[in-house]
Structure 1
């Protein structure tokens, strides 16, 4: 039988992700609209972005936070082009975005002494094989595979190289061992349900030391330049952005940070995401036609939950279209480079009640397309 109750919010996309519960544009503080980001007001607001981010995330003393161009992709590129080349590199890839960083390192920067540690969708590379005498580039959570690193225990405290972590679908949803991470990037449109185009770049003191002691041999585009005269441009990490940000997007991000604090901080947001994953896990356990793409429970993402079905790819596409037509779930097809399946966002901006309402619809749609 076709279910009757529908999710109140059918936005389960993995990016841009659902806005926070109760979101309303009228609640944003838009005093900065029409004002220069370099005005006293603009500078104060941009400084608050950096300071409140550090506070909510609980960053260690000395870590810098900056707003940079180009979303998470721009932040990762900025880090790689500015920091890599001083020593060898190990780069990990187990889904499409990690594979993109492999391409940049090997075909664009054309670095020497590069080791590529790869794994198929659903698996992790051998973390014990990573050489931390080199710089290490990896994603914390594979957004397109639903596979995350289980923790930071595999990263030594006494590493020689830098750890550069693309954490766009992990920050605010998973425990991040900040002392083990030298560069962390994310974007507003993922876990917080913010708007696109802006990236966040977090640097440890070790990363700053590298920036001030090493000059890459290649030309550096203006939007990547973080040093001047061999010193870090501190203003970038106090709200003086390299290029003009959207002040409307900034207001939206600050609203999201306030919301996280209302949940009890990052721990509250993580708990909400874990509760969402539990809803999907119970459904998977009860139905033998659906399973997680992640092969190991300790690597199962609690944000970008990727699922495989006992169905042909064309049947999976039909299921996705059917749920969209019914207004039950939007944008839940697997990423284009991933195996055919579903990808359901379970970050804290999604309500468990909506996932509970969605599950019977998944069952109904599956029966429709496989009958």
Structure 2
């Protein structure tokens, strides 16, 4: 039983920014909507000004990520989900498929490949929340579909060493909460997707599709047997629609969201690019890791230290589901932490976004509130 001598005093200092949502994620430090370059608003995205802004989304992304020569970057509809679906519908079917899943979104790709595309030769590699599947069993003569970071499980791939350099199949990677936050082995990845609203704190509804030359070759030499909705079409007359990767989007984008993404890219560049973004995210995780190591009632959902996500940090508490929900509501009511409940399909717990737009000082200010709140709901 909690006694007066062990009762924690309610913390006096709150995070300056209480936004710890895992998507849409916190805006960058110093963000000011009024300072966006809004010259494209009210203008056609097909005109020179709009097309230039969209092309910058592609070229600046490629530059900051240091993509290998020949890799294409395009802006596509429907967020990361749309980008993944475009890849699955456009590329799969010519080879058997190995699909990996260890959290909710990976399970979605398993379902879509089997139930929507109805492919016959599909091998599933499934792991429970907190773990990775056996990567050594993957066959790289097949096409391989996987997430890089489990946004809903807090488990990431530690590296790309398990991916064969001489693969004959394609690697299709949903990396929405990993790009700009984790070291990506681009030469091993043929298709990579992500969305603006994750690591860079951009706005939603738009996806990014990165294709290797091997993926382009597949697109130009293989036609799927099923009808292809216009919103998924990456080729025309048997050739890649290069315009998609030069600022000519398939459908009308939000030019305000485009301006917001360019602002995020400029901020990333100004602080030192991808290495600086990764360092900021790792520092946030380090603060939580130290708290977990010294706090007996809280644990990482990820089972292996090297697989703990440094963006979507998922935590389990020694508490009932009702108590966890009370803690989440309490911290929100106090204006300390918004949107930290675990994903609806994930084990009960909390999820704290630790991407680069979150300040480590705010993580450090949050932790005493977690301690106090836990005591309040479990007393």
Same fold (TM over 0.5): yes
Give the Cα separation in 1 of the matches to 2:211 and 2:323.
45
Q: Which position in structure 2 is the counterpart of 1:322?
A: 330
Q: Which position in structure 1 is the counterpart of 2:120?
A: 112
| SS of 2:109 mapped into structure 1 | helix
Give the Cα separation in 1 of the matches to 2:35 and 2:135.
44
Give the Cα separation in 2 of the matches to 1:75 and 1:44.
21
Q: Which position in structure 2 is the counterpart of 1:61?
A: 69
Gaps of 5+ in 2: 1-8
Give the Cα separation in 1 of the matches to 2:51 and 2:320.
54
Give the Cα separation in 1 of the matches to 2:65 and 2:120.
35
Give the deviation of 1:190 after TM superposition.
0.5
Deviations 1:58-77 (A, max 9, x none): 00000000000000000000
Q: Which position in structure 1 is the counterpart of 2:359?
A: 351
Q: Which position in structure 2 is the counterpart of 1:183?
A: 191
TM-score, length-scaled by structure 2: 0.98
Give the Cα separation in 2 of the matches to 1:44 and 1:351.
32
Gaps of 5+ in 1: none
> Could you say what the CA RMSD is over the residues aligned between the two structures, in angstroms?
0.4
Give the deviation of 1:41 after TM superposition.
0.8
Give the deviation of 1:27 after TM superposition.
1.4
The answer to whether residue 378 in structure 2 is matched with residue 370 in structure 1 is yes
Q: Which position in structure 2 is the counterpart of 1:136?
A: 144
The answer to whether residue 155 in structure 2 is matched with residue 150 in structure 1 is no
Q: Which position in structure 2 is the counterpart of 1:219?
A: 227
Give the Cα separation in 2 of the matches to 1:13 and 1:91.
28
Q: Which position in structure 1 is the counterpart of 2:276?
A: 268
Count of residues in correspondence between the two structures? 371
Match of 1:82 among 84, 87, 90: 90
Q: Which position in structure 1 is the counterpart of 2:4?
A: none
Q: Which position in structure 2 is the counterpart of 1:2?
A: 10
| SS of 1:360 mapped into structure 2 | helix
The answer to whether residue 109 in structure 2 is matched with residue 98 in structure 1 is no
Deviations 1:237-271 (A, max 9, x none): 00100000000000000000001111111000000
Give the deviation of 1:46 after TM superposition.
1.1
Q: Which position in structure 2 is the counterpart of 1:301?
A: 309
Match of 1:287 among 287, 295, 300: 295
Q: Which position in structure 1 is the counterpart of 2:135?
A: 127
TM-score, length-scaled by structure 1: 1.00
Give the deviation of 1:112 after TM superposition.
1.2
Deviations 1:133-167 (A, max 9, x none): 00000000000000001100000110010000000
Give the Cα separation in 2 of the matches to 1:145 and 1:139.
11
Give the deviation of 1:47 after TM superposition.
1.0
Q: Which position in structure 2 is the counterpart of 1:166?
A: 174
Give the deviation of 1:366 after TM superposition.
0.3
Give the Cα separation in 1 of the matches to 2:151 and 2:296.
24
Q: Which position in structure 1 is the counterpart of 2:45?
A: 37
| SS of 1:20 mapped into structure 2 | coil
Runs of 4+ in 1 over 2 A off after TM superposition: none
Give the deviation of 1:45 after TM superposition.
1.1
Give the deviation of 1:44 after TM superposition.
1.2
Match of 1:70 among 75, 78, 83: 78
